[in-house]
Amino acid sequence: MTNGLVDRILIATDGSEKNRPSLEEGIKIARAFGAAVYTVYVIDVGAFSSMSADMPIGDTYRIIKAEADQAFCRIKTLAGDMPVETAVLEGRPAAEIVKFAVAKNIDLIVIGTQGKKGLERLLLGSVAEEVIRSAPCKVLVVK
């Protein structure tokens, strides 16, 4: 059954605690509208190209995948009995978020302005900005 306004919500997460307000807001909106919830964690493969050759990529990938799993666990806990479809994507975060939104016919993307610390926070802010510019649907940016 559709409510005609927001039937499918995509919540983008980076796994950080500072991202929690956007998770909470996305779940709150989904409950209010009875919307389906999707959540994505994007592994920025561009970051691998700038890594030291001394660090094994496989180990780094496993660590990042574990972080994604923790982020999904956090959102599923917040969602309670609401079903949540999760996806780990690889590529440029904003482009992958938008591509997923198009593929799943998302009505609303919920994304945070602050994520991890330092440069990563700056990058997440730019991800939110790029999603706003290129998304085919409404975007809610949560501070």
Catalogue all structural domains in the chain, each as residue range(s) with its CATH number.
8-142 (3.40.50.620)
Instruction: Provide the pLDDT for residue 48.
Output: 60
CA distance 124 to 101: 18
Instruction: Provide the pLDDT for residue 113.
Output: 82
Instruction: Provide the pLDDT for residue 63.
Output: 86
pTM, two decimals, is 0.87
Q: pLDDT below 50 — which residues of the chain?
A: 119, 121-122
Instruction: Provide the pLDDT for residue 133.
Output: 93
Instruction: Provide the pLDDT for residue 121.
Output: 47
